[in-house]
Amino acid sequence: MASLSETHIRERLHDLRVLWRRVWAYPVTPAIMALVLVLCIGLTFPGEKPIVYGDDGQEMQLPAAFHKWTTHRDTLRLVSVYGILACGMTVVIITAGIDLSVGSVLGLTAVCFPLLLMYFHWPPVLAVCGTLAIGTVCGLVSGGITAVFRIQPFIVTLAMMVFARGLAKAVTGGKKAPLYIQSEDGTIHYPPVVQAIRTRWFDDNLAVVTVVFLISALITWILLSRLRWGRYLYAIGGNEQAARLSGVPVAASKILAYALAGLFSAVAGICQAAQETNGDPEAGATYELTAIAIVVIGGTNLMGGSGGIGLTVLGALTIGYIQKILSINQVPEAWRLMLTGIIIVAAVLVQRRRA
């Protein structure tokens, strides 16, 4: 009898193990686990509870930062620009490439946008399209050089990173380009496009940049999983030779991937400039590293051939929360950097699957 129930338990345990393995096999499971891990850290260290004194002099405790909705909403808003960059980065990394220039292209487009809009007085739609075109061209150039001359994308995009930053500084002479008009009496007016991008809807609860990020993610998802081109990208990243011999237009597909990364960089550049109400030629420095970290934490393989945009969105949330939690706990800058490094490695380790 005893042995019977023992075998019963053992079978149950075995079933559970099989189930666990099956769940673990989904690529999103580890990405969700990494995010949950970070959220748990947040719950453990929710930040200080501010104490205020009411009108009657009574002591009142407000909820800790992590328990407040505004913290989460800000996290989402702050990570959006990085997230937009990460969308393009995901596409490039799936082809087994890398784009180090996204941060610099963000800076370049952030100064070009005010230039076209305020200095050349282009109509808003044209100014936005023109800026997007500049970003896309940067991507086309890096992609073209990579694919046609078969130079490693690391090198090509490193060069583009330096070049685009230089161009951004050359365009404004190193100064910030304002995106507002100051009238005689000192009041500041924003052009309607800028105002539109800066707004937050629903009582400040949903930033337009966040919406832009989610739309970018949606577009990328469609490209990757519903277009022939997306399938080609996975094939190229997985086995370029086999892809070529199956008739995949390798060069064209790759060039388009880098162009898309450039386009998203420009989108991020416009968002960034509008939020800061000026175009800073220094904007976006080291953003490429955050974008790569987001993609990798999501679980997309740097070796190419696998991954997806859902993972990247999860990775963006993970990175966003890491930074938010460190800031609400007032961790000093030096520690923040070190902890970020440790948490990134820990999150990636959580995801690594055992054979």
Partner 1 sequence: MTSLTETDLAPAASTSLVDVRGVSKSFGATRALIKGNFDVRPGEVHVLAGENGAGKSTLIKILGGVHRPDAGTVCRDGAPISFRSPREAMAAGVSVIHQELSLIPTMSVMDNIMLGREHSVLGFMTRESQRAFVDGALARIGLAIDPDRLLGSLPVGAQQMIEICKALSTGSGSRLIIMDEPTSALTEPEVERLFTAIAGLKADGCGIIYITHKLEEVYRIADRITVLRDGQHVITAPVDAMPANELIRHMVGRPLAEQIKRRAPLPGVTVLTALGLTVIDRTVHSDAAASPDGTRRVRVSPMNLTVRAGEIVGLAGLQGSGAGDVLAAVFGALDSRYAVHGSMTLAGRSYIPQSPGRAIANGVALLTSDRHRTGFVPAMSIRANTSLAALQTVSPLGWLLMARERALADAVIQTLRVRAQAMTVPITTLSGGNQQKIVLAKWMCTSPRLLLLDEPTRGVDVGAKHEIYELMNQWTEQGMGILLITSEMPELLAMADRIVVMHRGRVMDVMTRNQADAERIIHAAMGGEINGIAE
Q: Residues in the site for partner 1, rule: CB under 8 A?
A: 18, 21-22, 25, 225-232, 234-235, 237-239, 241-249, 301, 305-306
The nearest distance, CB 231 to partner 1, in angstroms, is 6
Name the residue nearer to partner 1 (CB basis): 195 or 306.
306
User: Which residue number, 107 or 230, has a Cβ lying nearer to partner 1?
Assistant: 230
Residue count (the chain): 355
Task: State the burial class of residue 293 (Cβ atoms within 10 Å of its Cβ: 0-12, 13-18, 19+).
Answer: buried
What is the dihedral angle through the alpha carbons of 299, 316, 98, 140, rounded to the nearest 10 degrees?
Answer: 130
Q: Within a 10 A sphere around the Cβ of 144, how many other Cβ atoms?
A: 16
Report the alpha-carbon distance of residue 264 to residue 223 in Å, rounded. Answer: 13
Q: Which is nearer to partner 1, 252 or 289 (CB)?
A: 252
Give 106 or 224: the residue with its C-beta nearer to partner 1: 224
Of residues 57 and 247, the one with the C-beta less far from partner 1: 247
The position carrying tokens 């104490």 is 51
> Would strands 51-53 and 59-61 be described as parallel, antiparallel, or unpaired?
antiparallel
Q: Least separation, in Å, of the C-beta of 312 and partner 1?
A: 17
Please report how close the Cβ of residue 296 comes to partner 1 at its closest, in angstroms.
16
Cβ 236 to partner 1 shortest distance, Å: 9
- Separation CA 24–CA 16 (nearest Å): 12
Give the count of beta carbons closer than 10 Å to the beta carbon of residue 342.
Answer: 10
Least separation in angstroms between residue 245's CB and partner 1 is 5
